[in-house]
Amino acid sequence: MNDDWKQRLTPEQYRIAREGGTEAPFSGEHYARQDPGLYRCVCCQKPLFDARQKYDSGSGWPSYWAPVSAQALREVADTRHGMRRVEVRCSHCDAHLGHVFEDGPPPTGLRYCINSLALNFTPETA
């Protein structure tokens, strides 16, 4: 399966989505994007986030206060790098997306801090 992912993804997408890497802050193509639409998993294209739940957290990564549904994501305890965090993965294909923190805005108080390279954007059509 790894060879299949390596053929379908760029090396950087593979490093992030399949190996749990992180892109540099303020570097991702979706960080400043404000268009209406859906953010989908770069691996399986399942919808993960709606642009209406996106906000500027100032963190350097695209941030959302909620996923499209509770079933879209899977949360995993992450103790790498000497920290205690909650990793966020695509519930369909298990791609690493980023992390969720409890310092976000209302109504959820959550900040889903997601790597741009783990996402594809589908613009909303009129």
d(CA 60, CA 53): 16
Instruction: Show which residues are catalytic.
Output: 113
* Residue ranges with strand state E in 15-118: 37-41, 47-50, 54-55, 63-64, 73-78, 85-90, 96-101, 111-114
Domains detected in the chain: 2-123 (2.170.150.20)
Q: Running along the chain, 126 residues long, what does each successive block of 10 average in pLDDT?
A: 87 96 94 95 97 95 96 86 84 96 95 97 88
The pTM of the full predicted model, rounded to 2 decimals, is 0.92
Could you give the 3-state DSSP secondary structure of residue 14? helix
